[in-house]
Every structure is written in C-alpha cells, then in structure tokens.
C-alpha cells in the first residue's frame, strides 16, 4: 500500500523528501499482535476506572466522630434507625404494624430530635395526619380512608416565608417485605437530616416539611392525602422525593420546567449521580415502577427532584430486603447529598416565587461521579445543532484537505465517504441486530434471563456481538483493498468521519423530536470534533496513522462516560427484567442497552483495529469469546435464579370464588390458586418442585367472565397470561368480604336509577364494573375521571379500595341510565375482591403445604383472597 502524496498545504514544510519518508514509515499498518492489546486496553479501562468510580462511596461516619465533624450526616445513627424498622417486618396499609407500631416508633424518634432541638433558633411542629380520598391513577380509581402520614415542620424562629420545602419518603412496604431498602433507608436518612438541621446553628429562610408517608405502595395514597388535603400542602413550593431500593441514589427526575433546582443540586451535592436519560426512560413508561413524585407533580404542581437508590434491585420488594443489605457507606453518600440539598434549597431565593423561574426542562448528568453538568433544554438545542453542523463542515474540510494532498479528484473522496457512511450505518444496524438475534435464539430455546444471576455474561451474549456488528462491514471492506487511489490511512480516517456525520444526523433527529438524551451523541461529537481540529491544525491527518493517536486519546472521556452510564442502566434494569411480565422478552431490553452502550462508547475507537494487520483475526477472537460465553450460559451457570439473592418472583393468591346471578342465587363456587407470573420463564421453573397438574393459562377467552373470574390486584391488564390451578378443598378466609345492596331507587326522570351499597372486609378490596348493553354509568361515589372519559376508559372499570387506621365499612352509590327504562332486568355485573394481605393473616393448612413446595430460589408475594361476581 502506498503512502499518500503530500504538498505544502498539508505538511507546511518545504522538505518534501523527508516528509514523504515519514509518511511511508507511518503509513504502514502496525503488527497484528498490537491489536489484542489495543482491545484489552479499553476493557482494562472499564475495570480500572469505570467500575471503581461507580462503586466509590464515602466512608460512613461513626457517632464517636460526630463531635470532631459537626454538621455532618452520621451514617451510624441512620443505620441504627433502619435496623428496628426492618425488624418490624412487612408494614402494609391497614395492618397493625403500619398503622400503630411504626407510627409510634416514628413519633418516638421525632421526640428525640425535639429534645435536642435548638429551640432558641428553631420552631418544630409535628402531627399524624389521617386522610381519605379518591383519585384516578394508572387506569384505575384508588379510593382510600384513614391512611396515615407522620409530618414534621421545622422553621427558623421569626421566619416570614410562606414557601415550604417538602421532603418525602414512605415507611410502608410491599406485602412480605421488611423494606429495609424500600424505604426504611430513606426514612432513616430523613430523620438524621432533620436532626442535623435541628441541632445546628445554621439558620434557613424557608420552613421545611418532612413527610413520612404511610401509604406509597398501594399506590401513593399517603402523598395524595397530604398534597390534596393537608393545611401545609398549599405552601409547599419545592420537593425532594426519596425512594428506591437502597444504596447510592440516582437523580432521575427533575422539575418539570424548573432548572433552578438543578443549579442547587450542582452547587451543593458532594456526590453527584444523575442522568436526563433516566428521566426520559422513566417517563416513557419503560421502568415498571413509580414514585410519589408523580402525585406531587400532577395533583399539587410542586416542582422537585426525584432521587431513588438503585442498588439491591434483586431483593427489592421481597422478604430479603433486610438490614443486612444496607451499607453504611451508601447511607453516608445519600445522607451527605440530601442534607446538602435540603440546606441549599431551604435558603433559595427562588423559593419566594418559584413560578418566576419556570424556564423549561433541563439537560443534566454527572461525569462518572466526579462533577455535575446541567444546562437548559434551549441551550442543549443550540449546542446540538451547532456541533452537529460544525462537525459536518469540518468533515468536509478534512476531505477537501485529503483530496488536495493526494491530488485526486473530488469525486474520488466523495464516493469513498458515501460508501463509508453506508458501511457505518450498516455497522450501527448490525450492532443492534446481532444482540437482538441472540435474544431470539435464546428465547426460542427457553433460555431467557441467563445473565440474571451472573450479569457478566452480557459481555459475551450482547456486547461482543454488538462490537462485531459495529466493525464487521468496514473491516471486510477495508481488507478488500478498495480504491487504490486512496491510502489505507485515509480510508480509516474517512471511517471516523462517516461515524461522526451519522451521529450528527442522529443528534439532530433526536433534537427535532425534543429528546434531551441527544446529549449522549453530542458528547461523542464534541470530542471527535476536538481531535479533528487538532489533526487539521497540526496536519497529522496527512501523516499516515499519526492522527489516530490524537483520535484515540480524544475517545477516553466519551468512553468513560458512556461505559459508566450504560453500566448504571444495566445495574438498574437487570433486576427489573425479572418482573417485566411474560409477554415481553426481557433479553431484548438488556441487549439494546448493551448495543447502545457499545455504539456510543466505541464507535470511533473500535474501527481503529484496522490500523493493525489481520483485523479479521481480532473479529474472530471476539466471535470465539462470544462462543465461550454462550457455552457457559447454557450450563448451570446460566440458570437465572439463586436463593435469597436473585430470586424468581411469583405473585400468588389462594382464592375462594362465588358467582351470583340476578335473582340472588349462587350459580358457582370454587377455590384455587391464582398465579401471576412476573417473568418470561412463566411457570416452567416451578415444576421442578411443585405439582401443577391442572394448571391452566386463563387466555384471551377468559373475558367472557368478568375480569376472567379472578381477584386481580393492580395487574389486571395482564390477566389473560395469569395461571389458575383449581383445588378441591375450599380456601378458608380469615373473615368474609361482604357487599350489601342497601337501596335501589328509580330517579324522577324515569330513565335513571341510583343503587346504594355497603362494603366491608379486609383493608384491601377491589370493585369491577361491567355495564350491560344499553346501560351507562353516570356518577358514583368515587373519583369521576373514568366516567367522564368513556372513550378512554372502557369497561370493566376497576376501583381499588384501601383503608388504614379507619376500618369503617365503605358506603357508596352508583347512578346509571338505561335506554329502555326497565330497571328490573340485569343492569351491570359487579365483581368484588377481598385481599387479606396482612403479614399476620393465617393461611389455611393446605395453602401452607402448597406454598412450602415452591422452589427455594423463588419469592412469592402471596395472600388469601376472595372473589364474588354479582349481577344487579
């Protein structure tokens, strides 16, 4: 291969002989054995820099050190709070532990803070709120009564500010979970932050409301009760919401439209961890979870910051979410951040009139935990457009300089660039397609989630195929020795230019769609442009492969950032895919994440393997690594589940059902087990230890019966995929769920009627309404949202009823109209479910025996329940 011609416009030197000799030397491909070293360098960079920084935490402060470090968050004291709370066991709304035990404990801890309060500087008020209400959320009505919140307001004496900062977490848990990470962790952080502020001599401008809410998991009843009913709620002008599974907390939602909050996060938080992309993924519904942030935003218009711990995802909402998974160092990190953030925002001048600072969304992210970056969305649009177009201009300038240096026509380089752009596009598509193809093969062989317990398997299953796809097209092309008029070194530069233009096009497209995550492409473009400018100014781009040194160095920062970010997403999402349901292949989600991370972190660095001889051998090496990982994944190592740490989740109810006709007669009665499968492997792994003879999938035809005849609990959209296992013996319930029709009145117009009901039973119940033909539901005692929007909310209509400390029977009425005015014939079907979720509710002996046969690697959120179908 010949070296490119050189002229003064490229070299800037009159000594053409010496320059040509240097180009000839530099233009040769390097020996092949440097290639593996080059690839291993990037792998080593991840393990040497990215992983340690991701895991880095400050050392937890001890109580004995507090006197020498006043004003600092004390992790040891916070840990001492997590322990007794988690030892209380599950804290479910309506259960004695949640309504009495934990409330008394919280009041005791608050009293300790009050005893230490600098009452010469601060005023402190506290109370227990009992709230009742009804609201529409996630396709169903949530109706609640007697849900409790423990609330503290701390203010500087003499403060005249009517703007309060709200800090929120919850102390209730999912059934069966002690909730050390979700959310005793954040409760302890809040109590220690409250204590540190209360004993300090640092005054603050705006009162701070600490809301310990007692009904987040049902969902989000406590926050709704506070923001819609409490006397302090109207004064809450900013929010810090704390949730998650424990461990280092991620800022994943902000605002909306209040970038000043990001400024306070930037200037105050010592351990930043945040990403706009997380916000967009969450708000797009790709994360199977939610937080109180939504309620404060939608029902109170309170802007804020939403922070959630991202570790311990495998034990999240299980019985293994215990004190032992809580790290004192992680508590210190979260505590440092929350304390600094509370102190900063409680002194913010913006709090006096937050609406004046409502200026659009923000783009925000941390750089590998070292510092925080944010700017307004409008600034992001300008940056994206400027750098994307600027990159294209610089690429054109570079191609022109190459053409001038070589003396070949413009068409030669234009044609070469066109080919390389198509190859770059093919490489990106292959980088996405090959991991997805692996998903298809594994799913067809019933081998999904093989990486669930050994996440390192994704390296071979998805990252290696993605890397192969990224560089395969251009490597095949370059090894065919295309266009002898253009040197190999120039061809390789054009490869980088093609990827740069492709990323610029993608950046502009995402910007046009108002997707703030376009900043991910911007980071890659900025550093490539920087390298390109240096190479153009120094004319290294005309000296063989010397330009690659600058390019390789410029890719260190983008690689570190993108590898760090996508490692974060993988850590968050791998535990979550164990509860994505049976209809979604969860491997596709992890595969796409791995592919996007590979493309963004290696799109410029990976093609440089073509500087070395035998680049196809390196592709073969990647293929061999992929094969080895595949062989490991189909062994016992690839079995997804492990006891206590990486469990299979199976939600199960022991159900007694009754079916009543219009005349009041009971046409059917039976019992069985209702299994809600949470992952793609369905019931297959359960058959190792359980007798599932007679187990059926309810299927699409189950809607011939109202709600398929099952007491689904918030998961009703997936009821066709539920499993039903009949049993001959009746399921014994602790006490009955009773629905009484108290009155039926035909209204004066004659074409409308009102039915009045009384419902009693366990703290968690459900109603399902299915009007008959010609019948329209007009009004009821619950939130009207579904009835006011019949085109959006189609029957059956679901209402979830929850009570906390107040177990008074629910009285409600329904008004309806009927086309023919005959109210003596069937009007609607009404399903009633009762859920006995309390941890102290006894299961009957046969249910206990059945549950005991669950495999040791499972966790079942289970309880007795009833279902009755009435026709009125």
Q: What does the pLDDT average to over 705-716?
A: 90
Q: What does the pLDDT average to over 29-47?
A: 91
Encode pLDDT of 110-151 as tens digits: 999 999 999 999 999 999 999 999 999 988 999 999 999 999
What pLDDT is recorded for position 693?
95
CA distances from 384 to 254, 416, 503, 507 (A): 21, 27, 11, 7
Give residue for tokens 């461990």. Answer: 247
Closest CA to 564 of 57, 58, 53: 53
pLDDT top residue among 5 and 511: 511
What pLDDT is recorded for position 487?
84
CATH 3.40.50.720 matches 63-360: no
Residue ranges of the alpha helices (H) in 58-117?
Answer: 75-87, 96, 102-116
pLDDT level of residue 480 (50, 70, 90 thresholds): confident
What pLDDT is recorded for position 20?
35
Phi, psi of 373 (to 5 degrees): -125, 135
Tokens of 844: 């009957």
How far is it between the farthest Cα atoms of the chain? 106
Q: What does the pLDDT average to over 356-383?
A: 95
Decide if 768 contacts 706 (C-beta within 8 A).
Answer: yes
What pLDDT is recorded for position 17?
34
pLDDT above 90 as % of the chain: 85
Question: How many CA atoms, within 13 angstroms, populate the side-chain half-sphere of residue 697?
Answer: 11
Distance, in Å, from the CA atom of 462 to the CA atom of 440, rounded to the nearest integer, reads 12
What pLDDT is recorded for position 15?
43
Decide if 644 contacts 655 (C-beta within 8 A).
Answer: no
User: Mean pLDDT score of the chain, rounded to an integer?
Assistant: 93
What pLDDT is recorded for position 25?
44
**pLDDT of 16 higher than 50:** no
Question: How many CA atoms, within 13 angstroms, populate the side-chain half-sphere of residue 298?
Answer: 12
Bridging pattern class, strands 723-727 and 666-677? antiparallel
What pLDDT is recorded for position 13?
38
Encode pLDDT of 498-552 as tens digits: 999 999 999 999 999 999 999 999 999 999 999 999 999 998 877 778 899 999 9
Decide if 730 contacts 656 (C-beta within 8 A).
Answer: yes
3-class state of residue 808 by DSSP: coil
Distance, in Å, from the CA atom of 453 to the CA atom of 643, rounded to the nearest integer, reads 10
Encode pLDDT of 815-847 as tens digits: 999 998 899 999 999 999 999 998 889 999 999
Distance, in Å, from the CA atom of 264 to the CA atom of 514, rounded to the nearest integer, reads 24
Encode pLDDT of 83-98 as tens digits: 999 999 999 999 999 9
Bridging pattern class, strands 164-170 and 208-213? parallel
Q: Which of 4-18, 32-46, 736-750, 785-799 has the lowest mean pLDDT?
A: 4-18
pLDDT top residue among 545 and 417: 417
What pLDDT is recorded for position 403?
85
pLDDT level of residue 703 (50, 70, 90 thresholds): confident
pLDDT above 70 as % of the chain: 96
Domain ranges of the chain: 63-360, 378-638, 648-871
Encode pLDDT of 763-820 as tens digits: 999 999 999 999 999 999 999 999 999 999 999 999 999 999 999 999 999 999 999 8
Bridging pattern class, strands 828-835 and 764-771? antiparallel
**pLDDT of 652 higher than 80:** yes
Distance, in Å, from the CA atom of 546 to the CA atom of 543, rounded to the nearest integer, reads 6
What pLDDT is recorded for position 27?
52
pLDDT level of residue 447 (50, 70, 90 thresholds): very high
Q: How many whole angstroms from its chain centre is CA 377?
A: 22
Torsion of CA 800, 803, 807, 813, to 10 degrees: -40
Closest CA to 235 of 334, 125, 147: 125
Encode pLDDT of 256-274 as tens digits: 999 999 999 999 999 999 9
**pLDDT of 195 higher than 80:** yes
What pLDDT is recorded for position 700?
79
Distance, in Å, from the CA atom of 287 to the CA atom of 411, rounded to the nearest integer, reads 49
Q: Which of 213-222, 275-284, 801-810 has the lowest mean pLDDT?
A: 275-284
Encode pLDDT of 551-568 as tens digits: 999 999 999 999 999 999
Q: Which of 65-69, 409-413, 772-776 has the lowest mean pLDDT?
A: 409-413
What pLDDT is recorded for position 26?
46
**pLDDT of 14 higher than 80:** no
Q: What does the pLDDT average to over 414-437?
A: 95
Please report which helix (H) or strand (E) contains residue 504, including its range: helix 488-512
Q: What does the pLDDT average to over 691-709?
A: 91
């Amino acid at each position: 291969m010949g070296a490119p011609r050189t002229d003064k416009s490229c070299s800037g030197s009159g000594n053409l002989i010496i320059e040509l000799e240097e180009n000839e030397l530099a233009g040769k491909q390097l020996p092949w054995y440097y290639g593996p070293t080059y690839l291993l360098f990037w792998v080593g960079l991840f393990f040497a820099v990215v992983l340690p920084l991701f895991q880095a935490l400050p050392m937890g402060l001890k109580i004995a050190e507090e006197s020498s470090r006043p004003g600092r968050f004390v992790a040891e004291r916070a840990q001492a709070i997590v322990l007794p709370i988690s030892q209380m066991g599950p804290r479910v709304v309506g259960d004695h532990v949640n309504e009495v035990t934990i409330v008394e404990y919280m009041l005791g801890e608050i009293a300790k803070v009050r005893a230490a309060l600098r009452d010469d500087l601060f005023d402190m008020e506290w109370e227990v709120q009992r709230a009742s209400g009804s609201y529409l959320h996630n396709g169903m009505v949530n109706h609640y009564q007697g849900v409790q919140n423990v609330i503290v307001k701390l203010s500087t004496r003499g403060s005249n500010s009517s703007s309060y900062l709200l800090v929120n977490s919850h102390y209730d848990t999912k059934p069966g979970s002690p909730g050390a990470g979700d959310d005793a962790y954040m409760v302890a952080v809040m109590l220690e932050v409250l204590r540190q502020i209360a004993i300090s001599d640092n005054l603050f401008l705006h009162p701070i409301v600490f809301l310990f809410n007692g009904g987040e998991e049902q969902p989000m009843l406590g926050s709704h009760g506070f923001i819609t009913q409490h006397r302090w709620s109207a004064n809450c002008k900013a929010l810090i919401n704390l949730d998650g599974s424990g461990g280092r907390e991620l800022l994943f939602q902000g605002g909306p439209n209040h970038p000043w909050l990001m400024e306070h996060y930037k200037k105050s938080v010592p351990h930043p961890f945040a990403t706009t992309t997380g916000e967009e993924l969450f708000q797009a519904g790709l994360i199977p979870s939610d937080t109180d942030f939504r309620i404060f935003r939608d029902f109170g218009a309170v802007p804020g910051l939403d922070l959630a711990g991202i570790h311990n995802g495998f034990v999240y909402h299980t019985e293994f979410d215990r004190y032992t998974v809580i790290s004192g160092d992680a508590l210190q990190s979260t505590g440092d951040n929350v304390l600094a953030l509370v102190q900063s925002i409680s002194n913010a001048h913006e709090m006096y009139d937050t609406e004046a600072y409502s200026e659009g969304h923000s783009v925000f992210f941390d750089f590998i935990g070292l510092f925080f970056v944010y700017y307004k969305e409008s600034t992001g649009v300008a940056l994206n457009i400027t750098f994307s177009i600027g990159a294209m201009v610089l690429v054109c300038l570079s191609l022109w300089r190459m053409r001038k240096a070589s003396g070949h026509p413009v068409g030669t380089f234009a044609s070469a660039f066109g080919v390389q752009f198509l190859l770059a596009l093919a490489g990106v598509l292959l980088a996405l397609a090959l991991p997805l193809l692996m998903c298809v093969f594994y799913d067809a062989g019933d081998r999904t989630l093989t990486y669930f317990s050994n996440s390192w398997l994704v390296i071979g299953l998805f990252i290696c195929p993605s890397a192969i796809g990224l560089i395969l097209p251009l490597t095949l092309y370059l090894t065919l020795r295309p266009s002898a008029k253009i040197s190999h070194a120039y061809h390789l530069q054009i490869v980088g230019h093609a990827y740069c233009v492709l990323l610029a096009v993608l950046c502009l497209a995402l910007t046009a769609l108002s997707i703030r995550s376009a900043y991910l492409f911007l980071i890659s473009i900025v550093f490539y442009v920087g390298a390109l400018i240096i190479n153009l100014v120094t004319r290294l781009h005309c000296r063989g492969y010397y330009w690659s040194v600058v390019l390789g160095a410029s890719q260190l920062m983008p690689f570190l950032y993108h590898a760090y970010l996508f490692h974060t997403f993988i850590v968050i999402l791998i535990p979550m895919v164990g509860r994505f349901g049976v209809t979604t292949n969860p491997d596709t989600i992890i595969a796409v994440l791995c592919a996007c991370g590979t493309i963004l972190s290696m799109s410029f660095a990976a093609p440089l393997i073509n500087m070395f001889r035998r680049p196809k051998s390196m592709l073969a090496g990647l293929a061999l690594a992929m094969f080895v990982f595949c062989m490991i994944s189909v062994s016992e190592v690839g079995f997804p589940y492990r006891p206590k740490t990486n469990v299979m989740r199976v939600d199960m109810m022991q159900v007694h059902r009754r079916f009543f006709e219009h005349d009041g007669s009971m046409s059917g009665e039976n019992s069985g087990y209702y299994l809600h499968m949470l992952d793609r492997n369905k019931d297959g792994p359960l058959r190792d230890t359980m007798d599932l003879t007679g187990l059926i999938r309810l299927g699409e035809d189950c809607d011939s019966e109202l709600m398929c005849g099952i007491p689904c609990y918030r998961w009703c959209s997936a009821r066709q995929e539920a499993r039903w296992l009949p049993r001959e013996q009746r399921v014994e319930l602790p006490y009955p769920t009773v629905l009484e029709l108290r009155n039926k009145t035909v209204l004066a117009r004659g074409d409308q009627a009102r039915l009045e009901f009384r419902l009693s039973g366990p703290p968690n119940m459900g109603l399902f309404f299915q009007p008959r033909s010609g019948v329209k539901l007009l009004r009821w005692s619950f939130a009207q949202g579904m009835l006011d929007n019949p085109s959006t909310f189609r029957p059956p209509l679901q209402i979830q009823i929850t009570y906390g400390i107040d177990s008074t029977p629910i009285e409600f009425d329904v008004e309806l109209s009927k086309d023919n005015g005959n109210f003596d014939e069937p009007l609607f079907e009404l399903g009633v479910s009762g859920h006995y979720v309390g941890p102290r509710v006894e299961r009957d002996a046969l249910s206990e025996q059945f549950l005991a046969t669950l495999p040791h690697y499972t966790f079942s959120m289970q309880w007795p329940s009833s279902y009755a179908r009435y026709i009125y």
